[in-house]
Amino acid sequence: MNKVALITGGGGGIGGAVAHRMAAGGFTVIVADYDHRAAEQVRAEIVSAGGKAEALSVDVTQAREVKALVTDIANRFNRIDVLANIAGGSIYTKRIEELTWAQWKEVIDLNLKGTFLMCREVAPVMQRQKSGRILNTASNYGVTGSALRTPYAAAKAGIIAFTKTLAQELAPNGILVNTVAPGPTDTPRVMEKESPDARRQRWSSIPLGRTGKPEDLAEAFYFLTTAQSAWITGQTLHVNGGVVMP
């Protein structure tokens, strides 16, 4: 029986790398993304590499869509072993006085509410099987803050506290809940906004002297799904080259 990993944002830079890593580790991977073409591409890559995957569409901010997604997966596979909530993003870089209420809610919903909705639907499935790993995605900005990203930093800090709370709630069911906090990472979304010169400039402020690769994050997510991390719960694993040492 194949273990099932559900990955939101699975069509994106970090999510895609995580999907590949889980597939290489033997999971059947559900690549869930708002962008169906991106999810489909990751699925095709995994399958052509000999892995098992499926692509599904979901907007994690919509309770009904989340419920339908999880019900469909639970019905067909009868289990969900790993939930990796990776869908997210800062969307705006704006001063607080320029940020509309709608924009604020958009960022909070995508990052924090999306994580809540996914966990709420998947937790009962994991409770029934008395095992599971939930992996949420924060950011070093959730600890340090980041000028022009007030809702994003707030949402990511919220995810860290949400994770600790859910870890306590689900521990009696043998379910582990942890957060991975990426630092500067070379995803297409980040790289298209930054010139190569600006990137090299940034390297000087990173103790390990380079930005992270999506694969570095994928290894952290994967570690937190294995028997090697069986006694780690409620924690935040920072993968950031030493940019932030909380």
Give the DSSP letter string of the chain.
---EEEEETTTSHHHHHHHHHHHHTT-EEEEEESSHHHHHHHHHHHHHTT-EEEEEE--TT-HHHHHHHHHHHHHHHS---EEEE----------GGG--HHHHHHHHIIIIIHHHHHHHHHHHHHHHHT-EEEEEE--THHHH--TT-HHHHHHHHHHHHHHHHHHHHHGGGTEEEEEEEE-SB--HHHHTTS-HHHHHHHHTTSTTSSPBPHHHHHHHHHHTTSGGGTT--S-EEEESTTS---
The nearest distance, CB 243 to another protein, in angstroms, is: 9
Residue listed under structure tokens 């999810």: 39
Q: In terms of residues, how long is the chain?
A: 246
Cβ proximity to another protein: between 61 and 225 the closer is: 225
Question: Which residues contact residue 87 at a Cβ distance below 8 angstroms, ignoring those fewer than 6 apart?
Answer: 8, 9, 12, 15, 32, 33, 34, 60, 110, 114
d(CA 95, CA 32): 32
The nearest distance, CB 64 to another protein, in angstroms, is: 32
Q: Could you list the residues that contact another protein (CB under 8 A)? A: 17, 20-21, 23-26, 45, 48-51, 164, 167-168, 171-172, 174, 176, 206-209, 212-213, 215-216, 218-220, 222-223, 226-242, 245-246
- Show which residues are catalytic: 152
